[in-house]
Chain A
Amino acid sequence: MSLTVFLMFGVFALLLIIGVPISISLASSVLAAIIFDPSITLSFGVIAQRMYGGLESTSIMAIPFFILAGNMMTKGGISRRLVDFANSLIGGVRGGMGYALILACAFFAALSGSAPATVIAIGVMLYNDMVRLGYPKERVAGLLVVSGGLGPVIPPSIIMIVYATITNASVGDMFKSGMLIGGLIVVVLLGVAAVFAKKEKWPKEEKGSFSMKKLGTSFVRAIPAILLPVIILGGIYSGLVTPTESAVLAVVWAMLVSLFIYRDMKPKDLWPIIIDSAKSSAMILFIIASSTAFSWLFAYSGASAALVSAINAMNLNAVMFAFIVAIVLLIFGTFLEGIATAVLMVPILWPVAQALGMDVIHFGMIVSISNVIGTMTPPVAVNFFAAASVTKLKMGQIAKGQLPFFIGYVAVFLVVVFVPQLSTLLISR
């Protein structure tokens, strides 16, 4: 057993270091264990069969659909309407555009489910204007990185679908919990922004003063976009559609809005969007397929059961274990891409959490939020890269501006870890 685990994790780490793609590194480490561990008498065919098993699922099909819907909305003129709406909601107060940035990210998060997509779509719309008006650029870039982190927490969320597929948790319950915790993060970020708006004297936009007429107009223009989460969540909670089917409805609605209501997209734009979305989806789903083979061999070798017994012998309580899991996931998230961290670690850690009596939704929220924090912490920090490409600032500058908002985000994460009731507050059992 120990040789199997050593080969699996050792080869995986080595291949990652030399730049082999994550999905191939995962599957190749399984292949290495089968070839070099004499105690394993399996054929290579088992890897292909397990990968096939990982893909033969209707629930993970929601991932390509949400990616496609998000891409259509991003390229179909949605961000502009959301930014206008957010601006008209809080315009005129000191630091108003800072608050608008947070709200626009929250609205966009309810459509996209991806953190870097949120950073880019909103950053491109707001960053230059905010800097021109006199907002400190490092602070705006930092706020962008952390607000982009609302993407995978506010539903729909790709990471939550992946998690629910692995653990058989209810996607609907994960989304409900995400709504509450996402809302809490928005409030905390608004609070931190208010403190810094006063301390750093962020500008007050005279032109942007609040008016009911402006709010009404921008709201009407944003309605088709705002309806998308209503369709997704309303469909799921009314029981009319499954989460995967709601994702298909999101695709159809996003296409209709972009082509016929906003008219920012033409029919000829559809094909490249479909191909781009197919490639992004393949990347995530192939990691899931490879990790299915990886976690299967981990369980087959007996390592999974041994880990459960070892942690049980430590007499940890559920909250202490949750804290340890959070630390482990944060460390992994610093070096690995979010989905890869989840598909690699959840099958290993969830049986232990289950044995300790942890709630599946609570554990899922820890996984999801730690995943997002990973996108804000170098070296593998996609939100950072996205913000750097929008703002053209150096990583160090962004990190400096990000710190207070990041601390706020981590504070909410710790509350989620230590107060399990928060994750399950909206869920009826």
Chain B
Amino acid sequence: MRTTLKWLQRAENFIMGGAFIIMVAALFIQVVNRNVTKLALPWPEEVAVYSMIYLVLLGTEAGLRDGTQIQITAIVDRFRGRVKLGIQIVARLVVVAFSGAMAYASFGVIAAQAQSGQTSPVLRLPMYVPFGAFLLAFTIIFLVQGYALIVLVKAFIANDPDASVGVVPDSPDEVEEITAALGLNETADSEGAEEKR
């Protein structure tokens, strides 16, 4: 399962990163075109919007998986052991149920769009292409969060909260990330190295 999750993360990152680059490129072309080349280019905006929809939906899946979605944990964190695990199971169950319902509903909407032959205004893309992001993302959320739920239930039965650790990797520490980017870790390290010498 871990290998599957790793591959899933890579595929998602590829789509999210690709969508982001397409958004930047499309709107940059639009600005240059309107102010410099002045060609008739109606497509950049539509391409950028549809790319953003994929970015948001898959980014939400990634955020739910690595625990970086905003949530209030102050109350849950007051509990320990089985009580805490029980609350986490209920919370996870809500996410699974919601994503299942949304995957089912999105399938219905897509089927209706395919049947009616509805297309986008500029590119004439079938509307199930942008809307497909909902079906794709909510199906993945349903499966991944369902797996996380099973692990939590097993931890609850075994009364072992540690067994659930690692289902969702911890989010990276933002401070460490920024200090590293600013080169301050290197400074601290080199100072430490000099002291040792």
Contacts and interface: CB of A to CB of B under 8 A. Distances in A.
Interface in B28-63: 28, 30-31, 35, 45, 48-49, 52-53, 55-60, 62-63
Nearest first, the 5 closest Cβ-Cβ pairs linking A and B are A282-B59, A44-B105, A75-B181, A21-B69, A278-B16
Given A48-B106, A48-B131, A389-B174, 7 more contacts: A20-B71, A44-B101, A55-B53, A65-B24, A79-B182, A264-B181, A274-B21
Contacts of B71: 16, 19-22
A401 B115 CA distance: 63
A121 B17 CA distance: 24
A68 B181 contact: no
Interface residues of A, number: 71
14 contacts: A17-B72, A19-B76, A19-B87, A21-B63, A21-B70, A23-B70, A24-B98, A43-B105, A45-B106, A124-B182, A245-B27, A274-B17, A282-B62, A335-B72
B102 A48 contact: yes
Nearest to B49: A56
Contacts of B28: 248-249, 252
B49 A57 contact: yes
Interface stretch (A186-194, A218-226, A284-292): A284-292
Interface in A227-279: 240-241, 244-245, 248-249, 251-252, 264-265, 269, 271, 274-275, 277-279
A379 B74 contact: yes
Interface of B is mostly: helix
B104 interface: yes
Contact of A74 (B19, B90, B106, B181): B181
Nearest to A388: B175
Given A64-B20, A283-B63, A245 B31 contact: yes
Contacts of A65: 23-24, 27
A57 B52 CA distance: 9
A281 B70 CA distance: 12
B105 A20 contact: no
Contact of A48 (B95, B134, B175): B134
A20 B108 contact: no
B60 A286 contact: yes
A137 interface: no
B162 interface: no
B88 A19 contact: yes
Interface of A: 15-24, 27-28, 31, 43-45, 47-49, 51-52, 55-58, 61, 64-65, 68, 74-75, 77, 79-80, 116, 120-121, 124-125, 240-241, 244-245, 248-249, 251-252, 264-265, 269, 271, 274-275, 277-279, 281-283, 285-287, 289, 335, 337, 340, 379-380, 386, 389-390
Given A275-B13, A282-B60, A58 B49 contact: yes
A323 B31 CA distance: 41
B127 to A, nearest CB: 10
A61 B17 contact: no
Contacts of B74: 379-380
B153 to A, nearest CB: 16
B79 to A, nearest CB: 10
B75 interface: yes
A113 to B, nearest CB: 16
Interface of B: 13, 16-17, 19-21, 23-24, 27-28, 30-31, 35, 45, 48-49, 52-53, 55-60, 62-64, 66, 68-76, 87-88, 90-91, 94-95, 97-98, 101-102, 104-106, 108-109, 130-131, 134, 173-175, 178-179, 181-184
Indicate the member of B27, B88, B106 with the most A CB atoms within 10 Å. B27
Contacts of B134: 48, 51-52
Contacts of A45: 105-106, 108-109
Contacts of B88: 19
Contacts of B56: 55, 281-282, 285-286, 289
B111 to A, nearest CB: 10
B53 A52 contact: yes
A68 B49 CA distance: 16
Nearest to B179: A124
Contacts of B19: 278
Contact of A283 (B35, B60, B76, B108): B60
B178 A248 contact: no
A389 B173 contact: yes
Contacts of A64: 20, 23, 52, 55
A120 B174 contact: yes
